[in-house]
Amino acid sequence: MNTETYEKLFIRLLFTNDEARAKIYPFLVPTIFESFEHQQIIQDFMKFKQDRDKYPTFSELQLLCKNSEVHKALKDVMDVDTSEYDDEFVLDVSEDFIKGQLFWANIVKGKELLTNNEVSEKGPELLDNLRDVLAFSYDTEIGLDFLNSSERIYENLTSVDNVVPTGIDNLDRLIKGGLHEKSLTLLMAETNMGKTLIQCGLAVNCLLQNKNVLYVTLEMSEDKISERILANLIDVDINELPMMKKENFMNKMEKLSTTMKSNFIIKEFPTKSANTNRIRNLLKELEIKKKFVPDIVFVDYMGIMTTNQKFASGSNSNTELKTISEELRGLAVETGVPFISAVQTNRGGFASSEIDLTDIADSIGTTATADVIIGITQTDELRASGLYNFIILKNRYGINKMRTPVGVDYPKMRVFNVEDDEGSSPTPESTRTVDDAAVMLNHSGSRRRRNVSDIE
């Protein structure tokens, strides 16, 4: 089928097939057609719809047509022999037609950017456009027909989300296996509680399960984060790292590089400089330049990000933080991977062993966006015993108000599961005391199994 015949069949669908027109019209652009006359037909068709809020019939558009060549082309469209082609077939291949034309338009735009030396300035926008073009498809879903979708509903009931286990078995049981795809999990704790330590510890746990990890830091430098990761991985007290001999250090790093089947990328942004658009561009650059696609993303931390939107001077900071949380979760859905970040408690949550969602700092609206919120507290007794108290404050995957102790090894920057001699399970927060948790650790001193234990 030559291009001219295909364009005629495509345009004819707009007049003769209501279902096809409903799918095509939202993506209709005159410039996707090569023929000037066909471009003009589409332009007139769209103007008629805009002016009269209804689609034109063939006769109506023909009556309004003043250009003789366009009038003839319109008649040729309606006279084209369709006996050899099924409307559904034409509709299906039209997706590739539109995608190809839009792709070519962006390639031409890219050539213009090269000519005008504007690649650095406008290149990211062009990459966004190309990405949208490649993902283009007609929206054929118009909702779930509940009584006639038994197969789909059953498949959904029996399917399992892609999850990344945290490496803390008790926590994973509470959130149905781990950190879920397309989700935002927030760690809530007071200042200087160790939110970065916990995120680094969880990140290493994910790495040891052969997951690609991206760690975005807006507070500590890349070098400081790497020290925490290194202490954990090579089993060396973080304070002793600077005293390592270079040969010993290089041997350990070489052993790590050959042992690990996944990768860990740390990217630093200045405080209040990064929004989700910058993280989105980072993800694209990593994929293009390093062939790196993360299985999980840590953002340390959400409270010192900035929003993609521009708020008026004097706008409420609560609104801004809520918007940031919405944008971050939107990016998680877009990329299909779990995002983990942290938030501060307000004054009411400081030095408290019992916190709830009302103790979140800045914006209670943030709690509506996150899929899982984990409150983290630590009394003096727990700290002396090397324990945190994790409380599930919000949980889209299970029961709220459950708690579990989590072990912490400060010199090695680790967090790990805690079990007693017979194994332990998470309990409702009203039934476990601080002393119970401390005894549990003292009985077992449990540490998670390491995948790189042979690194000496």
- The model's confidence at residue 53, banded by pLDDT at 50, 70 and 90, is confident
> What confidence score (pLDDT) does residue 446 get?
40
CATH 3.40.50.300 residue ranges in the chain? 163-444
pLDDT at residue 395 is higher than 50: yes
| For residue 207, pLDDT beyond 90 | yes
Average pLDDT over residues 341-351: 77
Residue 52, SS3?
Answer: helix
Query: What whole-number distance in Å separates Cα of residue 222 and Cα of residue 233?
Result: 16
Residue 75 CB neighbour total at 10 angstroms: 13
Share of the chain above pLDDT 90, in %: 44
**pLDDT(31) > 90:** no
CA dist 448 and 416 (Å) reads 6
* 84-93, 155-164, 379-388: range with lowest mean pLDDT: 84-93
Q: How far from 412 is each of 200, 350, 423, CA to CA, in Å?
A: 11, 26, 24
Q: Each residue of 287-326: pLDDT tens digit?
A: 989 999 999 999 998 989 988 876 545 556 677 888 899 9
Burial zone of 295 (CB within 10 Å; 0-12 exposed, 13-18 middle, 19+ buried): buried
Question: Phi-psi category of 117—alpha, beta or left, where left has phi over 0 and alpha has psi -120 to 50?
Answer: left
SS3 406: strand
Comparing 398 with 20, the larger pLDDT belongs to 398
CA atoms of 310 and 2, how far apart (whole Å): 48
Please say whether the beta carbons of 400 and 394 come within 8 A. yes
Q: Say which CATH topology domain 163-444 has.
A: Rossmann fold (3.40.50)
**Dist. CA 15–CA 54, nearest whole Å:** 12
- Give me the chain's average pLDDT, please: 83
CATH architecture for segment(s) 3-134: Orthogonal Bundle (1.10)
Range 117-123 average pLDDT: 82
DSSP for 79-103 reads HS--TT--HHHHHHHHHHHHHHHHH
How confident is residue 20, by pLDDT bands cut at 50, 70 and 90?
confident
Report the Cα 102 to chain-centroid distance in Å. 26
CB contact set of 247 (below 8 Å; sequence gap of 6+): none
Cα(first)–Cα(last) distance of the chain, in Å? Answer: 67
pLDDT for residue 113: 86
Q: Are strands 163-164 and 179-180 parallel, antiparallel or unpaired?
A: antiparallel
Does 14 have pLDDT greater than 70?
A: yes
pLDDT range class, residue 248, cuts 50, 70, 90: very high
pLDDT > 70: percent of the chain: 86
H or E segment to which residue 376 belongs = strand 372-377
pLDDT of 450 higher than 60: no
Checking phi first, is residue 143 left (phi over 0); if not, alpha (psi -120 to 50) or beta? left
pTM given for the model: 0.66
- The pLDDT assigned to 200 comes to 97
Q: In 10 A of CB 258, how many CB atoms? A: 8
What's the pLDDT tens digit per position in 162-193? 899 999 999 999 999 999 999 999 999 988 89
Directed axis angle between helix 68-79 and helix 36-52, to 10°? 90
Q: Determine phi and psi for 149, rounding to 5 degrees.
A: -130, 45
Q: Where in the chain is the domain with CATH 1.10.860.10?
A: 3-134
pLDDT of residue 443: 36
Peptide bond into 301 cis (omega under 30): yes
Q: Pull the structure tokens for residue 25.
A: 């019209």
